[in-house]
């Protein structure tokens, strides 16, 4: 990393980078925060106009994406309130390849809309590791995932502890000998255990600069922005191309209202039960609170509010929503980073029957 | 050395110890150290090149503070080459840093032999006339050249080398060479040891998929007069159902793998168009001064005609297959033994050829030949036109065709970025330098661009007006972010050339920072 020198080894990267930039560029203030992004209160992110990501995991990207999508407020017609949008600029590299993208929450696809762009992680079945190892990686993962727990009970494995890593390497080597598998090296052991993504300065520079350029475009309107998602490939020649894709209307993170059809007679309690049964939401919810245009229909906490809103649970939802045929409810839950917006549409009982009859012909 | 493996760990995983050693042997010259040159060099210094020399005559001025990270307030008025060189050296003191306070243009005139000390020259922000001279000098001295230009929200990049051979091109999509359609005797003997209709379910689900596919293919052939399924449809409809039928339980991973890889039987890797062209190259007629690469290609040609029966040597690598350890290891050894036998055959051809051309028959070591054999399917040879040929090219009709496609701005950008140099030669300044003359500059630049197109034999196509205005608006600005991208790409290509790994870009790379897209033109 080019802002780091030998004398900086061991210091917090955030502090070193901030000091270096401020020293070089007069008049700029860079405030370092040496912590995990999840440790910050969500309101912390409200103070910024644009958020640029230099993250290295899917989880962290998903988190910040949920935060900024949660900030977006929608107008009656489902269009986002532009003043609540905080663009995200994201990038990542692997070897001679990389990508950069711009997310305008509420307008362009969010991170969650296109999770499929990320390849699935490689994992090995435990039975292969335990019974039929065939590759150096199998031997290493056996030492790492199984042997450590058996032989060094009570000790937490620390990938940054050289003695721990050496132990894994030695065990893997022994297992390799036992099964006639060669090619186990210390470097490979580190790579497999730490899941090291190979990285080089030039690709990082290209992607980082692309992210900054897109940020400058958003901030100054000096030029048109990229078409959503840029791929860089430097393995065979050089290719930079943008690959647009669409917003997922069912995205539980950025949709202005995930469509959900319910019976006209449904009560608020039954509606909450329905949410738990829906495969789109069930893993995301534990104790959902429901509000409608700023009115709390049901709050799980604090106890005073819970008690006040509890009678609503037995009310028909359509009445709580002022008789609208279709409108958006906000669902809050401690398992959600942002807010889940559900567009409820009431189906007429009569119509339902008609539809069924049509279907049988 | 422990430090080296820790410091460079992440990149060693890409180009290996031998790639790193190649970088450490490299002497690199960067002409002009504005942001494009400095950013390119920064990545190479971090990567651990042997040494660099920065050539620049200018002094650090206030405007440099706004676009070059490697100067600072204290260096105002001092030599830019000296300042940048010192800052870069601080990043990695293992790299030897030098600088020359002279303009590249003057150096080209006064001391062309200066360039002979370098492995690679990276020329940044230079105009056509000087580049022509530089290219001639580098070709004469056999020094590799990369030309990089950042211009407003656009960039150009070009490699100029006579020839660059790559053994380790490390393509993204390697097809596995398993010879399932045509097993050699040792492999066949091993396959015959298996009974895929065994009633032992544990054994049944641990037979490697390669064995399953070879067996099933042979059963099919027996039932169809020795013919394979004729096409993908037949493969899918019939061949795959056999695989599925043989399967006893749903969770037989080896059968799932066999189904997934069944197409390999019908479509084994072929000799690629690139390899075919290399085998037909006139340099395969080797003589005493032929490089080792071409001696090995000549041997490869003989191998394919003789032992290979139309196939290049086996690389010996097999993918993981769900199976018992010993089944798999045995299979792996059979493939490795065949690969080793192929290397021996190749060594024979190589030493024969070496003797014929009057060289020591063992002057190419077996390890080199083995390395070559592992990569024969993906060999690459890069040859670049001289700049003079490009600038006097009559590729106008090709440009016309590309320009007619309104989707792509890149061909027009190429013409306009060449036109700005002609503009500068005529008016002694770049278009858009003065706000007051912006409109006149647009029509002047347009006229120059049209005449360049005419000279290339591609007149009569209109260049997009808004793009001409935009290029004038750039006012020759070297924007830091664009320079960082163009410089970053230049360093990436430098690494590919120096390590002789991966495939460098062939042609003129045109970058549009407005849309974050690129196109490579071969003119």
Distance in Å, alpha carbon of A213 to nearest chain B alpha carbon: 6
A199 touches chain B (CB under 8 A): yes
Are residues B106 and B60 in contact, defined by beta-carbon separation less than 8 angstroms?
no
pLDDT tens, position by position, for chain A (361 residues)?
556 667 788 889 999 999 999 988 889 999 999 999 999 999 999 999 999 999 988 889 999 999 999 999 888 777 899 999 999 999 999 999 999 999 999 999 999 998 877 777 778 888 899 999 999 999 999 999 999 999 998 899 998 898 999 999 999 999 999 999 999 999 999 999 988 888 899 999 999 999 999 999 999 998 988 999 999 999 999 999 999 889 988 888 998 889 999 999 999 999 999 999 998 888 888 999 999 988 999 999 889 999 999 999 999 999 999 988 899 999 999 888 888 999 999 987 654 444 444 433 3
CA distance A85 to A68: 8
Residues of B in contact with A199 (CB under 8 A): 10-11
A3, burial (CB in 10 Å: exposed 0-12, middle 13-18, buried 19+):
middle
- Find the angle CA(A24)-CA(A27)-CA(A32) to the nearest 5 degrees: 70
Are residues A184 and A168 in contact, defined by beta-carbon separation less than 8 angstroms?
no
The structure tokens 């050496």 sit at A166
B425: Cβ contacts below 8 Å, ≥ 6 apart: B127, B129
Longest dimension (CA), chain B: 89
B496, burial (CB in 10 Å: exposed 0-12, middle 13-18, buried 19+):
buried
Are residues B340 and B272 in contact, defined by beta-carbon separation less than 8 angstroms?
no
- Find the angle CA(B286)-CA(B288)-CA(B292) to the nearest 5 degrees: 65
End-to-end Cα spacing for chain B: 46
- For A191-248, give the DSSP string: HHHHTPPP--HHHHHHHHHHHHHHHHHHHH--SPPP-SEEEEE-SBS-EEEE------
Residues of A in contact with B481 (CB under 8 A): 209-210, 212-213, 216
The structure tokens 């003057």 sit at B106
CA distance A69 to A84: 9
As for the ipTM of the complex, it is 0.94
CA distance A56 to A197: 10
Distance in Å, alpha carbon of A109 to nearest chain B alpha carbon: 18
Residues of B in contact with A209 (CB under 8 A): 39, 481-482, 484-485, 488
> Which candidate from B44, B492, B513 shows the least CB-CB separation from A96?
B492
Quote the distance between the C-alpha of residue B155 and its chain's center: 19
Nearest CA to A318 among A247, A270, A280? A270
Distance in Å, alpha carbon of A180 to nearest chain B alpha carbon: 7
Quote the distance between the C-alpha of residue B418 and its chain's center: 25
Residues of A in contact with B43 (CB under 8 A): 200-202, 205
pTM of the model: 0.91
Using CB atoms and an 8 Å cut-off, which of residues 99-138 of chain B contact chain A?
none
A224 touches chain B (CB under 8 A): yes
Using CB atoms and an 8 Å cut-off, which of residues 299-338 of chain B contact chain A?
320-326, 328-329
Quote the distance between the C-alpha of residue B514 and its chain's center: 25
User: φ, ψ for residue B182 (rounded to 5)?
Assistant: -150, 70
Using CB atoms and an 8 Å cut-off, which of residues 202-221 of chain B contact chain A?
206
Identify whether A69 is a catalytic site residue.
Answer: no
pLDDT tens, position by position, for chain B (523 residues)?
447 788 888 899 999 999 999 999 999 999 999 999 999 999 999 999 999 999 999 999 999 999 999 999 999 999 999 999 999 999 999 999 999 999 999 999 999 999 999 999 999 999 999 999 999 999 999 999 999 999 999 999 999 999 999 999 999 888 789 999 899 999 999 999 999 888 898 999 999 999 999 998 888 888 889 888 887 777 767 767 777 777 777 778 898 888 888 888 888 899 999 999 999 999 999 999 999 999 999 999 999 999 999 999 999 999 999 999 999 999 999 999 999 999 999 999 999 999 999 999 999 999 999 999 999 999 999 999 999 999 998 888 888 888 888 778 999 999 999 999 999 999 999 999 888 899 999 999 999 999 999 999 887 788 999 999 999 999 999 999 999 999 999 999 999 999 999 999 999 999 999 999 999 999 8
A123, burial (CB in 10 Å: exposed 0-12, middle 13-18, buried 19+):
exposed
Residues of B in contact with A179 (CB under 8 A): 325, 329
Using CB atoms and an 8 Å cut-off, which of residues 6-35 of chain B contact chain A?
9-14
Distance in Å, alpha carbon of B86 to nearest chain A alpha carbon: 13
């Amino acid at each position: 990393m080019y802002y780091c020198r030998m004398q900086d080894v061991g210091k917090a990267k955030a502090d070193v980078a901030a000091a270096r930039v401020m020293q070089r560029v007069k008049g700029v203030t860079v405030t370092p925060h040496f912590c995990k992004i999840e440790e910050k209160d969500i309101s912390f992110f409200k103070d910024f106009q644009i958020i640029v990501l230099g993250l290295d995991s899917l989880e962290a990207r998903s988190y910040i994406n949920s935060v900024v999508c949660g900030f977006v407020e929608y107008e009656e017609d489902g269009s986002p309130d532009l003043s609540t949008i905080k663009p995200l600029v994201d990038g990542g590299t692997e070897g001679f390849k990389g990508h950069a993208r711009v997310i305008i929450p509420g307008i362009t696809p969010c991170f969650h809309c296109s999770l499929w762009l990320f390849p699935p992680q490689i994992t090995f079945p435990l039975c292969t590791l335990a019974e039929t190892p065939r590759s150096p990686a199998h031997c290493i993962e056996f030492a790492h995932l199984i042997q450590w727990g058996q032989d060094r009970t009570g000790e937490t494995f620390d990938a940054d502890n050289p003695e721990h890593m050496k132990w894994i390497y030695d065990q893997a080597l022994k297992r390799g000998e036992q099964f006639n598998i060669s090619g186990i090296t210390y470097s490979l052991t580190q790579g497999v255990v730490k899941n090291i993504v190979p990285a080089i300065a030039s690709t990082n520079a290209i992607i980082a600069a692309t992210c900054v350029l897109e940020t400058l475009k958003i901030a100054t309107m000096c030029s048109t922005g990229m078409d959503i998602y840029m791929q860089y490939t430097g393995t065979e020649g050089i290719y930079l191309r943008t690959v647009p894709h669409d917003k997922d209307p069912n995205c539980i993170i950025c949709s202005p209202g995930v469509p959900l059809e319910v019976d006209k007679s449904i009560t608020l309690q039954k509606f909450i039960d329905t949410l738990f049964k829906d495969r789109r939401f069930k893993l995301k919810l534990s104790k959902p609170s429901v509000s409608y245009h700023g009115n709390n229909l049901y709050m799980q906490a604090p106890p005073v509010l819970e008690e006040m809103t509890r009678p609503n649970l037995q009310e028909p939802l359509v009445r709580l929503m002022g008789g609208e045929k279709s409108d958006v409810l906000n669902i809050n839950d401690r398992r959600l980073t942002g807010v889940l917006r559900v567009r409820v549409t009431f189906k007429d009982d009569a119509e339902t029957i008609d539809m069924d009859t049509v279907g049988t012909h | 050395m422990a430090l080296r493996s820790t410091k460079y760990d992440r990149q060693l995983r890409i180009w290996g110890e031998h790639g790193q050693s190649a970088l450490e042997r490299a002497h690199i010259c960067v002409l002009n150290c504005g942001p494009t040159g400095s950013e390119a060099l920064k990545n190479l210094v971090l990567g651990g090149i042997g040494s660099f020399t920065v050539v620049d005559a200018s002094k650090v001025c206030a405007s440099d503070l706004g676009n070059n990270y490697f100067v600072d307030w204290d260096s105002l008025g001092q030599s830019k080459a000296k300042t940048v060189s010192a800052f870069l050296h601080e990043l990695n003191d293992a790299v030897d840093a030098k600088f020359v306070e002279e303009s590249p243009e003057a150096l080209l005139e006064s001391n062309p032999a200066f360039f002979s000390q370098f492995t690679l020259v990276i020329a940044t922000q230079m105009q056509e006339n000087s580049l022509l001279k530089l290219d001639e000098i580098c070709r004469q001295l056999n020094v590799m050249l990369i030309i990089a230009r950042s211009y407003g929200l656009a960039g150009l990049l070009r490699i100029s080398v006579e020839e660059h051979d790559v053994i380790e091109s490390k393509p993204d999509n390697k097809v596995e060479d398993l010879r399932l359609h045509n097993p050699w005797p040792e492999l066949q003997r091993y396959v015959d040891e298996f009974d895929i209709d065994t009633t032992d379910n544990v054994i049944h689900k641990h037979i490697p998929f390669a064995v399953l596919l070879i067996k099933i293919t042979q059963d099919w052939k027996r039932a169809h007069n020795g013919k394979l399924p004729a096409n993908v449809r037949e493969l899918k409809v019939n061949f795959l159902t056999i695989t599925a039928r043989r399967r006893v339980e749903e969770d037989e991973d080896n059968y799932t793998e066999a189904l997934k890889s069944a197409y390999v039987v019908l479509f084994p890797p072929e000799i690629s168009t690139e390899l075919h062209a290399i085998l037909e190259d006139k340099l395969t007629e080797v003589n005493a001064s032929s490089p080792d690469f071409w001696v090995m290609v000549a041997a490869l040609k003989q191998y394919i005609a003789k032992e290979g029966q139309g196939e290049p040597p086996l690389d010996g690598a097999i993918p993981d297959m769900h199976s018992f350890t010993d089944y798999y290891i045995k299979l792996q050894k059979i493939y490795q033994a065949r690969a080793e036998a192929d290397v021996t055959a190749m060594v024979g051809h190589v030493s024969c050829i070496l003797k014929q051309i009057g060289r020591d028959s063992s002057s190419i070591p077996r390890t080199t030949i083995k390395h070559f054999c592992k990569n024969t399917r993906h060999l690459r040879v890069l040859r670049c036109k001289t700049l003079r040929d490009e600038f006097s090219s009559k590729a106008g009709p090709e440009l016309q065709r590309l320009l007619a496609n309104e989707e792509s701005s890149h061909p027009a950008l190429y013409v306009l970025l060449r036109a700005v140099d002609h503009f500068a030669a005529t008016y002694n300044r770049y278009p858009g330098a003065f706000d007051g003359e912006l409109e006149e500059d647009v029509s002047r630049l347009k006229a120059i661009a049209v005449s360049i197109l005419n000279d290339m034999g591609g007149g009569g196509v209109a260049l997009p007006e808004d793009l001409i205005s935009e290029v004038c608006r750039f006012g020759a600005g070297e924007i830091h972010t664009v320079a960082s991208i163009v410089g970053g790409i230049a360093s990436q290509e430098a690494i590919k050339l120096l390590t002789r790994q991966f495939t460098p870009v062939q042609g003129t790379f045109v970058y549009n920072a407005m849309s974050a897209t690129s196109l490579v033109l071969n003119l």
